[in-house]
Amino acid sequence: METEDKPMELANNTEAEDDSEGTDVKDMRLEAEAVVNDVLFAVRNMFVSKSLPCAEDMVYINVETRERNTYCLELTEAGLRVVGYAFDQVDDSVQNSYHETVYSLLDSVSPAYREAFGNALLQRLEALNKDG
């Protein structure tokens, strides 16, 4: 699903902020950390960017797939999309569509992710079968 680009105000990302905008930035960063934790087992490396600005409604995530391809992802309320092909680099000429989930995005760029995710699911189902 494509969305229109809208101008965004950047917010400072400091730990001491108590205003609602600071809380929003912190919440978006927490959401990004949750995204990373959900799929870290199935990629080579993934982390929230510390060098790119964290906005009220946008965070950047760096990911290296098991195939050793690197991506810079943008996380917004619209979803996730690839915005660059190196860590901490946003290329304005890259125009990719948004994915509603990190699973969908990784599934589209990494066959090894798809295999790792499927294997993890199979192991969980087998464990449930043994317990049940």
**Domain contains 4:** no
- Exposure of 33 in the CB half-sphere (CA atoms within 13 A): 8
Residue 5 falls inside a structural domain:
no
Count of structural domains, the chain: 1
CATH of the domain at 78: 3.30.2280.10
- 49 part of a folded domain: yes
Structural domain boundaries, residue 127: 20-131
Query: Could you tell me if residue 6 is inside a domain?
Result: no
Is residue 41 in a domain? Answer: yes
Is the pTM higher than 0.85?
no
93 occurs within a structural domain: yes
The verdict on residue 2 lying in a domain is no
In a domain, 106, yes or no: yes
pLDDT tens string for the chain (132 positions)?
444 433 333 333 333 334 444 556 668 899 999 999 999 999 999 999 999 998 889 999 999 999 999 999 999 999 999 999 999 999 999 999 999 999 999 999 999 998 998 888 888 888 888 887
Instruction: Give the CA diameter of the chain.
Output: 53
CB 59 within 8 A of CB 28: yes
